[in-house]
Amino acid sequence: MVKLKINDKEIAVPEGTTILEAAREMGVHIPTLCYHPKLRPLGHCRLCLVEVKGAAKPVAACETPALEGMEVFTDTPRVREMRKGILELLIATHPVNGCYTCDRSGNCELQNFVYAQGLTECTFSTDTYRYPVVKDNPFIVRDYEKCILCGRCVQVCREVQLNFALNMVNKGFKTKIAPVANGEEAASTESPCVFCGQCVQVCPVGALVEKSSRYKVREWELKKVRSVCSYCGVGCNLELYVKDGKVVKVRGYDNPAVNNGWLCVKGRFGFDYIHSPERLQQPLIRVGERGEGKFREATWDEALDLVAENLRRIRDEYGGDSLGILCSAKCTNEENYLLQKLTRGVLGTNNIDHCARL
């Protein structure tokens, strides 16, 4: 353990703890933008600058380890002045008017911070290099105007997903983050990107957003419902974002025991099958030859009676073992339990199976 003082208060933290982590443990707020609790600190944005007694220059709290005897000051006039300057530089290159139409408005880390600082004007005017919005894939839109070059997306791809699909390219005003293939900027579909969307999930602003919900929903209109992914057997936890009875987007839910909040392309972007116009909406009864695929719509009563009647008839005439039931690896435990109860308890057979082997 090391002992240090933050704003004159003493705290003991394990070795290797950063100043930022120590401060957060004490409940001292240090603003951050590029820092993400699941990623190694980047030290890019400089918003977390703090003063350390005896140090010539302020240091980034996110990447500076807490040391024995250190005295840290997080809210001095100098720190406040610097933070304001950094923030002004950030918004000088960020389309503040863009908040009107930004998907992240209401849940944007930059917007929240500007609001918290009460920043109403920007004393800098800069030339920014304008890159067009990139929509080169079915899942993710990259809006360069909103990008603050924090580097989280690059980091999450390198550290968590480990596909190394993103990097900073160009220099100076022309710096941008782009998909890369063999060290060169490339279309995302040509890069090693697997469209997991971890980058979208960690983007603090509206630079990376889900294509399917872009311009369709405001943050405050959404109801979030926790669930489990319907694809493979890993059982990733997720949150369904619901508006007007429709799931409009999906984000990972942070269950550290399972997926740590991360998802894959199917879990994050493949949910829209539930709103397919091809979904069955009414019971159907066959009218044509078997296999012809011709049906008429029926009421539930009619369909359920027909099912019960035929199951009963076959059971009574030929015995339960002349019936076969397939339950489902995509249905719930409760549903599978009920179906085996129907099979064994009501139909009197053990002819039940599912595609576990396939």
Partner 1 sequence: MTNSIQDIGQADCILVIGSNTTENHPIIGQKVKQAVRRGARLIVADPREIELSRWATLWLRQKPGSDLALINGLLNVIVKEGLYDREFIASRTEGFEELKEAVSRYTPDKVAEITGVPAEDIIKAARLYASGPRSAILYAMGITQHISGTANVMALANLAMACGMLGKEGAGVNPLRGQSNVQGACDMGGLPNVYPGYQPVTDAAVREKFARAWGIAPEKLSPSNGLTLMEMMQAAEEGRLRGMYILGENPVLSDPDAAHVEKALRKLDFLVVQDIFLTETARFADVVLPGAAFAEKEGTFTNTERRVQLLHKAIDPPGGARADWQIIAEIIRRLGFPANYNSPAEIMAEIAQVTPSYAGINYKRLEGQGLQWPCPAPDHPGTPVLHQEKFNRGLGKFHVVDYVLPDEEPDEEYPYIFTTGRLLYHYHTVISRKSKGLEEICPEPVAEINPQDAESLGIGDGERVELISRRGRVQVKAWVTNRVPRGVVFMTFHFWEAAANLLTNPALDPVAKIPEYKVCAVKVRKL
Query: Could you say whether residue 308 binds partner 1 (CB under 8 A)?
Result: yes
Give residues with Cβ within 8 angstroms of 11, minimum separation 6: 3, 4, 5, 22, 25, 26
Query: Could you say whether residue 342 binds partner 1 (CB under 8 A)?
Result: yes
Query: Could you say whether residue 354 binds partner 1 (CB under 8 A)?
Result: yes
CB 20 within 8 Å of CB 30: yes
Instruction: Supply the minimum distance, in Å, between the C-beta of residue 20 and partner 1.
Output: 23
Query: Could you say whether residue 322 binds partner 1 (CB under 8 A)?
Result: yes
Q: What are the structure tokens assigned to 46, written together?
A: 């400089």
Question: Which one among 7, 107, 117, 336 touches partner 1, defined by CB under 8 A?
Answer: 336
For tokens 């933050």, the residue is 6
Q: What are the structure tokens assigned to 115, written together?
A: 């609001």
Binding residues for partner 1 restricted to 271-290, rule: CB under 8 A: 271-276, 278-286, 290
Instruction: Supply the minimum distance, in Å, between the C-beta of residue 235 and partner 1.
Output: 3
CB nearer to partner 1: pick between 1 and 356 = 356
Count the Cβ atoms, other than its own, within 10 Å of residue 192: 17
Polymer length of the chain: 358
d(CA 177, CA 73): 33
d(CA 226, CA 224): 7
d(CA 356, CA 331): 13
DSSP 112-137: HHHHHHT----------PPPPPB--S
- The alpha carbons of the chain give a radius of gyration, in whole angstroms, of 28
Core vs surface per residue 116-126: b (16+ CB within 10 A) or e: eeeeeebeeee
Instruction: Supply the minimum distance, in Å, between the C-beta of residue 86 and partner 1.
Output: 32
Instruction: Supply the minimum distance, in Å, between the C-beta of residue 184 and partner 1.
Output: 20
Binding residues for partner 1 restricted to 25-64, rule: CB under 8 A: none
Query: Could you say whether residue 12 binds partner 1 (CB under 8 A)?
Result: no
Q: Measure the CA angle with vertex 225, ends 219 and 229; round to 5°.
A: 115
Query: Could you say whether residue 113 binds partner 1 (CB under 8 A)?
Result: no
Binding residues for partner 1 restricted to 149-178, rule: CB under 8 A: 160-162
Query: Could you say whether residue 182 binds partner 1 (CB under 8 A)?
Result: no
The window from 18-26, 83-91, 128-136, 245-253 that contacts partner 1 (CB under 8 A) reads 245-253
How many residues touch partner 1 under the rule CB under 8 A: the total is 113
d(CA 287, CA 269): 37
Query: Could you say whether residue 327 binds partner 1 (CB under 8 A)?
Result: yes
Please give the order of strands across the beta sheet that includes 2-6: 9-13, 2-6, 71-73, 49-52, 59-60
CB 326 within 8 Å of CB 354: yes
Instruction: Supply the minimum distance, in Å, between the C-beta of residue 85 and partner 1.
Output: 37
Binding residues for partner 1 restricted to 202-231, rule: CB under 8 A: 211-212, 223, 225-231
Query: Could you say whether residue 296 binds partner 1 (CB under 8 A)?
Result: no
Instruction: Supply the minimum distance, in Å, between the C-beta of residue 280 and partner 1.
Output: 4
Instruction: Supply the minimum distance, in Å, between the C-beta of residue 256 and partner 1.
Output: 7
d(CA 137, CA 140): 6
The window from 53-61, 108-116, 132-140, 142-150 that contacts partner 1 (CB under 8 A) reads 132-140
Query: Could you say whether residue 5 binds partner 1 (CB under 8 A)?
Result: no
The window from 44-52, 65-73, 176-184, 321-329 that contacts partner 1 (CB under 8 A) reads 321-329
The window from 66-74, 113-121, 126-134, 309-317 that contacts partner 1 (CB under 8 A) reads 309-317
Query: Could you say whether residue 237 binds partner 1 (CB under 8 A)?
Result: yes
